[in-house]
Amino acid sequence: MRIAENLVALRKRRGLSQVAVAHLLDIGERTYQNYEYGTSFPSLLTAIALANLYGVSIDELVGRERKVI
């Protein structure tokens, strides 16, 4: 899953641990780990919080590429 790969890359780029991100978002550590493993997906509100934390758009977070029509 693209979002899982992006979460790992963004977290590492910021020099954060999975535990630190979970605490910053006020979610369980296992919950965040599951996002990175691709076994579950964040809710829209959590995805927005993740995008804000990492300073990216939702499109970037989920790996959506814009296509010019």
pTM for the structure as a whole: 0.88
Domains of the chain as residue ranges with CATH? 2-61 (1.10.260.40)
| CA pair distance 61, 9, nearest whole angstrom | 10
Give the pLDDT score at 64.
86
Residue pLDDT tens, the chain, 69 long: 689 999 999 999 999 999 999 999 999 999 999 999 999 999 999 999 999 999 999 999 998 876 666
Compute the Cα dihedral for 54, 48, 44, 22 and give only its sign: positive
| CA pair distance 62, 48, nearest whole angstrom | 11
| Segments of the chain assigned E as strands | none
The CA distances from residue 26 to 9, 32, 69, in Å, are 20, 10, 40
